[in-house]
Structure formats: structure tokens, C-alpha cells
Amino acid sequence: RHTEYLPGDLIDGVNQVLCELGRGAGSVVYRVTNEPLGQELALKLVTDAGDAYDAAEEYRLLQAAPSAHIPRAHWLGRLTQPDGSVIPYLLLDLVEGERLSDILARGAVPPQQALAWADDLLDALQALHSAGATGALHRDVKAENVVVGPGGAILVDFGTARESTNAGAAPEGSLRTTPPDLASTGWQPQADVFAVACVVYHLLAGRPPWPVTPIAGVEPPSLLNEAVGIDIAAQARHHA
């Protein structure tokens, strides 16, 4: 399979590679210049789709969720390999900025900034949860999947997103930003919102709400302390 591209290479004849932006277990993302559109975009090349992933579904969900805080999907393409297999790719908005996880590594941020980014993420979720006929769920909201740039906070990496009616079984146990009762309730929009709340807590306190994973019946430490400032509740009311 030809999945490695260097600067100057063409993907599908019209996407000139500028550089590699990153890679994960099942995909590589390149910065490309798309000739027909005449602009720089991100090209997500799906190298290993896995059993649950469908590039066409990700494309449809992004198309159906218009928000300034979700990357637009411009094209769904397919590359035919010499062995006859097909590799899908998506052309997406090029999201430039810094990963929120890198910002968090430096500590807490001012309350007003944290609340502004929270607004951005909730705007993204509102669009996603209202997408199409049934809505969709991101299912992996975390600081690593948020990029902060000139346009605010952008929610990225929709590889695990699913239509609400096809969200699948909830995993046993919990990840750091998933509700502790997820295994019994199943995937619901509230799980995405809970994850945003965990991210915002981390922004305000400079640490995650729980050391490892959320624990049923155990509340995280209050934000009303010297680490954040006792005016956080007033700040939230004013921002609302």
C-alpha cells in the first residue's frame, strides 16, 4: 500500500503535499494544496479503517454539523491501490493553532479565557448533536482533540463520532472524561457535555477533576479555592 507521501508528491492528482501534520494508529494527516479549490487543506488519509470506522460516515457528520468550531469537510475521495484495494481520504479545513493539551501542560488559564473556550466547544457540540435526522456524538472530547487558534477552540478528530442511533455499546469502566455511569446508561449527548466540563475544570484548576477516571459518588475538589479565585461563580454568571 502506498500511504507514505513526501513534500511535492501529489495525492489523487490534485492535492500537492506540503508536509505531514501528524499520524495515528489508523490515519496520516497531510497539509496539502488542493488545485481545484486553490487553498491549503488538511488531507486525512485512512490507512487502517478498523471494523467500526467509516470514512463516509465521518464525512456526512461533518457536512451536517455546520459550526465555526468544527472543521468543514470538503471532499471524500478514494485511492485505488495496485492490489485493487481502496484507501479513503477526507479533505478538511486546515486547523492551525496549538493543542489544548499543550496549553494545559503549562497550567491553568484565566477564567474568562476558559469560559470562552467552553462556549466554543459547546457550540460545536450543539451543531453535532443536532446534525442530520438523529444527531451525532463525538465520543472522544478531550484536551488532545481541541486546537486553539485565532478562531477560538476547534473540536477535531471525529474518527470515533457516530450517529446517536448508532453510537454502539458503552465501554466497561470509564476514561478520564467520560461519566462513571456510562457503562449502564450508554452513549448519550450528556456524555459529550460531561467531557467538556472535565476539560473546563482542568483549564480553571490546572489539573484534571479526578486523578485517573471519574468515580461515581465522588465529587472533584471545589474550584472555589486559591488556585482559581473565589470569583469563578460570578465570572460564570457574567459570561452566561
Instruction: Kindly list the catalytic residues.
Output: 140
Grid coordinates representing 104 are: 494545559
CB 51 within 8 A of CB 37: no
Those residues whose C-beta lies under 8 Å from the C-beta of residue 140, and which sit 6 or more positions away, are 157, 159, 160, 161
How many Å apart are CA 26 and CA 52, to the nearest integer?
12
Q: Which residue has the cell 461563580?
A: 233
Grid coordinates representing 136 are: 451525532
Strand 98-99 relative to strand 136-137: parallel, antiparallel, unpaired? Answer: unpaired
Q: Which residue has the cell 481541541?
A: 146
How many Å apart are CA 117 and CA 157, to the nearest integer?
17
**Phi, psi of 194, rounded to the nearest 5 degrees:** -60, -40
Longest dimension (CA), the chain: 63
Gap between the terminal Cα atoms of the chain: 51
Q: Closest Cα to residue 58, out of 40, 42, 71?
A: 71
